[in-house]
Amino acid sequence: MSDQNGTPSNYAPKVRAQYEKYPFPLRDPRDEANRLVIAEEDSLGKLNHFCFGGRQSFEDGFRVLVAGGGTGDHTIFLAEQLRDYDASVTYVDISRSSLEIARDRARVRNLNNIEWHHRSILDVSSIDVAPFDLISCTGVLHHLPEPERGLEALRGVLAPEGAMSLMLYGRTGRLATYAAQELMRLVNDGVEDPRLRTQHARGIVEGLPETNWLLRGTGPDRAMNEFLDDESNLNDVLLHEQDRAYSVLELYEFLAEAKLELIEFTSFHNDPPTFRYMYDPMVWITDPALQSHVSKLPRPQQQAIAEAMSCVITCHGFYAAPKAADRIASPNDLDMIPFFVYFHPGNLAEHFRGAAGRKCGLNYRGSTVQFEVGKYSADLVAAIDGSRTISEIFDIVHRTSGDGVALTELRQDFMAFYEPLNSFDVLLLRHRSISPFPEFEIKVAT
Q: How do residues 358-383 score in pLDDT, each as one tens digit?
A: 888 888 888 888 899 999 999 999 99
Contact of 429 with 54, CB cutoff 8 Å:
yes
Q: What is the pLDDT of residue 445?
A: 45
Of 321, 353, 377, the position where a domain reaches its end is 321
pLDDT of 45 strictly over 90: yes
Strand partners, 134: 64, 163
- Mean of per-residue pLDDT scores for the chain: 92
Query: 121 and 201: one domain?
Result: no
Residues 131 and 262 in one domain: yes
Sign of CA dihedral 194, 196, 197, 198: positive
Asked, for residue 438, whether it belongs to a domain, the answer is no
The answer on 186 and 254 residing in a single domain is no
Burial 382-413 (b: 16+ CB within 10 A, else e): bbbeeebbbebbbbebbeeeeeebeeeebbeb
CB-CB contact of 128 with 104 (8 Å)? no
Cis omega before residue 25 (within 30°)? yes
Same domain, 9 and 53: yes
Specify the CATH number for the domain of residue 64.
3.40.50.150
Q: Which pLDDT value is given to residue 360?
A: 87
Q: Is 26 exposed, middle or buried (0-12, 13-18, 19+ CB in 10 A)?
A: middle
Give residues with Cβ within 8 angstroms of 174, minimum separation 6: 245, 314
Who wins on pLDDT, 360 or 139? 139
Closest CA to 147 of 41, 39, 7, 250: 250
Question: Mean pLDDT across the stretch 50-65?
Answer: 98
**Same structural domain, 41 and 185:** no
Q: Are residues 136 and 233 in the same domain?
A: no
Would the pLDDT of 12 be above 90? no
Q: What is the mean pLDDT of residues 89-101?
A: 97
Percent of the chain past pLDDT 70, that is, above it, reads 95
Query: How many domains in the chain?
Result: 3
Segment 148-196, tens digit of pLDDT:
999 999 999 999 999 999 999 999 999 999 999 999 999 999 999 999 9
**Residues 264 and 119 reside in one and the same domain:** yes
Residue-level pLDDT at 369: 86
Per the rule left: phi > 0, alpha: psi between -120 and 50, beta: everything else, 209 is: beta
Surface-to-core class of residue 103, CB atoms within 10 Å of its CB (0-12 exposed, 13-18 middle, 19+ buried): buried
285 falls within a domain: no
User: Taking 90 as the threshold, does the pLDDT of residue 320 lie above it?
Assistant: yes
Q: Is 330 within a domain?
A: no
Please report the pLDDT score of residue 1 as a whole number. 46
| pTM tops 0.85, yes or no | yes
Q: Are 307 and 248 in contact (CB under 8 A)?
A: yes
Same-domain pairing of 94 and 207: no
> Has residue 6 got a pLDDT over 70?
no
Computed from CA positions of residues 31, 32, 35, 39, in that sequence, does the dihedral angle turn out positive or negative?
positive
pLDDT at residue 370, rounded to an integer = 87
Instruction: Indicate if the pLDDT at residue 217 is higher than 70.
Output: no
Residue range(s) defining the domain that contains residue 232 = 173-238
Pair (61, 145) in one structural domain: yes
Asked, for residue 292, whether it belongs to a domain, the answer is: no
Which of the four pLDDT bands, split at 50, 70 and 90, describes residue 395?
Answer: very high
Give the mean pLDDT of 90-115.
Answer: 98
Residues 343 and 417 in one domain: yes
Using pLDDT thresholds of 50, 70 and 90, give the confidence band for residue 8. low
Residue 372 domain-assigned? yes
Q: Cα separation of 111 and 107, whole Å?
A: 6
SS3 86: coil
268 compared with 29, residue with greater pLDDT? 29
Q: Worst-scoring range by mean pLDDT, 68-72, 209-213, 280-284, 323-327?
A: 209-213
- The proportion of the chain whose per-residue pLDDT surpasses 90, expressed as a percent, equals 80
Identify whether 54 is part of a domain: yes
Strands 261-266 and 315-321: antiparallel
Q: Is the pLDDT reported for residue 333 higher than 50?
A: yes
Regarding whether 185 and 154 lie in a shared domain, the answer is no
Chain CA centroid to CA 373, Å: 28
- Write the pLDDT tens digit of every residue in 141-158: 999 999 999 999 999 999
Q: Is 217 domain-assigned?
A: yes
What confidence category does residue 409 fall into, taking pLDDT thresholds of 50, 70 and 90?
A: very high
Kindly state whether residues 112 and 44 are assigned to the same domain: yes
In a domain, 185, yes or no: yes
Predicted pLDDT at 227:
87
Mean pLDDT of 251-255: 98
What was the pLDDT predicted at 3? 56
**CA–CA dist 300, 280 (Å, integer):** 10
Closest CA to 414 of 380, 443, 445: 380
- pLDDT at residue 44 in the model: 98
